[in-house]
Structure 1
């Protein structure tokens, strides 16, 4: 059984979807802990499913390495097989990535390498893109630059704004994430091989 830690910053819709999938006894992974960089509303999902959680407050870029050290120490307590970034709006310090690589994955609301960064949906609209998408990647020390594990296109419709487009991307992200976690758990997807140039 693959053990998973999920890190969030906000509402945790991907977390909720993963918790629901993992509640099925046939699903080969379990969320063992949920962490956040603030008192995120998504922590309520962990509570609802009886999953332990922790908060390590973000205190600004000057304290980034200290925050990373505390996060790493907390993750070591649980020693998950996989770490899922589910809307964590902070770049992990390099030391954390190095310690857990390649066992950290992230979802992104764009068809990478198109539109990386915190505003992928907004940037796709600003660029006049006719299609964008969703991706699941291995986290490296760059910004949305790690190996791509899965992705799918999503059309940009006439009249789309950031909210409407993002709402159509989210279900695709969730489906891709759940499938990637399943494939890792059953050995169909090897993160070491996927991360080796």
Structure 2
């Protein structure tokens, strides 16, 4: 029997995307094993979700380390010891460095609540509203160390209505994320998606 495809999820907040991935696994729609949650906020709701799901977590405070590279080195060692095949950034609010990007390039993806390259960084939903665009959406992309740069894997659009505010738009975007992210993970796990490392 072949080894199951193992993923780690990085999250900083409520963990609704983490929950959506776990739900897809438990429903038999996603054939992967969630080996680890990585979270930089000990009080985040996602930590409680992981506990309830029986998924191991590595929870840390950045301020307890001398540098970003220091805690990333510890994270990398944990990922390697668990033989993680894919790392999914799902609402992880920290920029990551070459310590993780280099060894994981092509096996490290992020989900972002806009149609990249539009509205990278924080508050992407509010950025779209402030700019007055009529269409926004969700992007899943490979991580290359830049701010929401890296080759795009999948996007789904969403029309913004005149009635939308940040809360309503965020709710609609989360609904898309919760379907799109497990789909992309399934494609990667099945070997249908591969990054061209020379590009």
Q: Same fold (TM over 0.5)?
A: yes
TM-score, length of structure 1 as denominator length:
0.93
Q: Give 4+ residue runs of structure 1 displaced > 6 Å after superposition.
A: none
Change (3 A) 1:41 1:147: same
8 Å Cα contact 1:56/1:71 also seen in 2 = no
Candidates 24, 27, 31, aligned match of 2:27: 24
Where does the alignment leave 5 or more consecutive residues of structure 1 unmatched? none
- Match for residue 101 of structure 2? 97
Note if 1:48 corresponds to 2:52.
yes
SS of equivalent to 2:67: helix
Structure 1 residues 119 and 184: alpha-carbon distance in aligned structure 2, compared to 1, 3 A threshold: same
For 2:94 and 2:100, locate their aligned partners in 1 and report how far apart those are by CA, in whole Å.
12
Secondary structure of 1:43's counterpart equals helix
Distance 1:26 1:133 in 2: 23
Among residues 70, 84, 87, which one is paired with 1:83 in the alignment? 87
Aligned pair partner of 2:180 in 170, 176, 180? 176
Alignment correspondent of 2:164: 160
Q: Name the count of aligned residue pairs.
A: 195
Structure 2: distance between partners of 1:26 and 1:146: 27
